[in-house]
Amino acid sequence: MPYDDDLANRVRASLKDTNAVTELRMFGGWGITIHGNMAVGVMNDDLIVRVGPDRYEDARARPGARPFDFTGRSMTGWVYVDGSAVTNTRALNRWVRSGVDFAQSLPPKSKTAKKRRAR
């Protein structure tokens, strides 16, 4: 199972009133962007949350959180949250809101694709 469909559906429900949400599949998981900026996702049974560098240490101190080290190297500003830590709606909504708030604080991504230079 690449990602927990139930957890992804719960995240979708949490975002029902959020504007500019785009779903995508990535890294064998599922994610949400806000104006093109990654906010939250699901990989296996874990929630992935982009909290930003300023809130990273506080986020890591919360129950169920650990560094996001998908590539073997921790990414500051991102955390995994164990699925068992977001079984209730209140806890899930709090994490999702953290990711959405950070993504909304960033400028929207440009919709134009970058052109590659011919070699």
Domains in the chain, CATH or no CATH each: 5-105 (3.90.1150.30)
Whole-number mean pLDDT of the chain?
A: 90
Position 60 scores a pLDDT of 96
Residues 6+ apart with CB under 8 A from 54: none
Please give the model's pTM, rounded to 2 decimal places.
0.88
Q: What is the DSSP letter of 53?
A: G
Position 70 scores a pLDDT of 77
Kindly tell me if the per-residue pLDDT of 52 is higher than 70. yes
Burial of residue 58 (number of CB atoms within 10 Å: 0-12, 13-18, 19+)? exposed
Half-sphere exposure of 43 (CA within 13 A, CB side): 12
Position 73 scores a pLDDT of 87
Return d(Cα 94, Cα 96) in angstroms, integer: 6
| Percentage of the chain lying above the pLDDT 70 cut | 92
Residues 6+ apart with CB under 8 A from 75: 67, 68, 69
Q: How confident is the model at residue 112 (pLDDT cuts 50, 70, 90)?
A: low
Asked if 65 and 5 touch (Cβ cutoff 8 Å), the reply is: no
